[in-house]
Amino acid sequence: MPKTILITGSTDGIGKHLAMKLASEGHEVILHGRNSEKLRVALSDIQLKTGNKKIHGYLADFSKLADVYRFSQEIKRDFEQIDVLINNAGAYFGEARVATAENIEMTFMLSVQVPYILTTELLPLLEKAPAGRVIHTSSFMHHFAQTRGLDFGLEQSYSATMAYNNAKLYTIWLAIAQAEALEKQGSSVTVNAYHPGLIATNLGNDGVKRNLRSRILTSLMKPFSKDLNQGIETGYYLSLSPEVTGQSGHYFSEKKVARVSLKGFDVAKSQALLAYLDKKIQVFKESYGD
C-alpha cells in the first residue's frame, strides 16, 4: 500500500536519491528544500523520471525557527496523514561558530532542534498512520563526540568537527528520549536513528572551507565511501521494512541495530537535552509574542 513520506533536505544527495526510489514505487513523497530553484528542479526531475505525480515540494529555511513552524503548519494544512518522517536535513559548518537568533548552534539546530520540533508538530499526522515512523539521520561519527559539561550550544568551546560529532550523538539521544516518551503515551509511532554511510559524491564537496587535517581525512576516507544507491539502503529499510515494525529507540547501520557510543547517556542527560530544546523554543515564542 502506498505511503505518504516526508523527507527533509531532499533536493540533492541521499535525500533526493531516496525520494526518487520511493516515488518510483508509487509512494506519495513530500520534498523539502531551502533553495527554490533546487527544489523546483528536484520536483520536476523526480516527477519526470518516475511518472509519479504525487510529489510535493515545500520551501523552508531550517536555520530559522519561524520557517520550521511555518513549514509544519503548511504540512498539517495540506495532509491528513504522514506514514514516515525522515529528518535528513543537515550540514557541516566552518571553523567559526554560527548560531540562530536564539543562539542555537547551527549544526545542532539542523540535526537535533528541527527534528525535535517536526516530530512534535507532526505527531498528530503520524498518529493517524497504522504505524507511523520517524527516522533521524545520525552518523558513525557520533562515536567521537565530546559531551563534557553538556554544552549543547558549544558556547564554551567550539570546532566544526566537535559540532558535527556531538550533534550526531544528540540525534541518537533524541531518538531514545522520544521513543520512550511515545511508548509511555501508548503511541504506535516509532523513532529510530541511523548511519547512512559515507557518500562519495558529498565528501568534501559541500562548499565548507575545511582545514588541512579535515581535507586529508576526507581524502583518506573516500576509498571506503558508498555510492548513493548503497547510501540510501538503511533509510529505505527503516522507512518500509516490516522487520522493524514496533522497533523504537535504536541506532541502525547496514540495515541492522548497531553498536552505539552513548557517552554516559542516562535519565538526567535525557532530561537535560529535552529541557534545552524546550528552552530554545520558549525563547523563540517569547520573541514572537506567542
Residue in 25, 22, 20 with CA at minimum distance from that of residue 5: 22
List, in sequence order, every residue forming a beta bridge with 193; answer none if it has no partner.
136, 251
Query: Is residue 22 pLDDT above 60, yes or no?
Result: yes
- Which pLDDT score, from 0 to 100, does residue 149 have? 87
- Which pLDDT score, from 0 to 100, does residue 223 have? 47
- Which pLDDT score, from 0 to 100, does residue 198 have? 64
- Which pLDDT score, from 0 to 100, does residue 76 have? 98
Residues 155, 136: Cα–Cα separation, whole Å = 24
- Which pLDDT score, from 0 to 100, does residue 128 have? 98
The residue-averaged pLDDT of 116-132 equals 98
Residues 40, 56: Cα–Cα separation, whole Å = 10
The residue-averaged pLDDT of 130-147 equals 95
Query: Is residue 110 pLDDT above 80, yes or no?
Result: yes
Cα 112 versus chain centre, distance: 7
Domains of the chain are 4-285 (3.40.50.720)
Phi, psi of 168 (to 5 degrees): -70, -30
Residues 200, 30: Cα–Cα separation, whole Å = 25
- Summarize pLDDT for 169-227 with one digit per residue, the tens: 999 999 999 999 999 999 999 999 999 976 554 433 333 444 444 454 445 444 444 57
Bridge-based pairing state of the strands 84-87 and 133-137: parallel
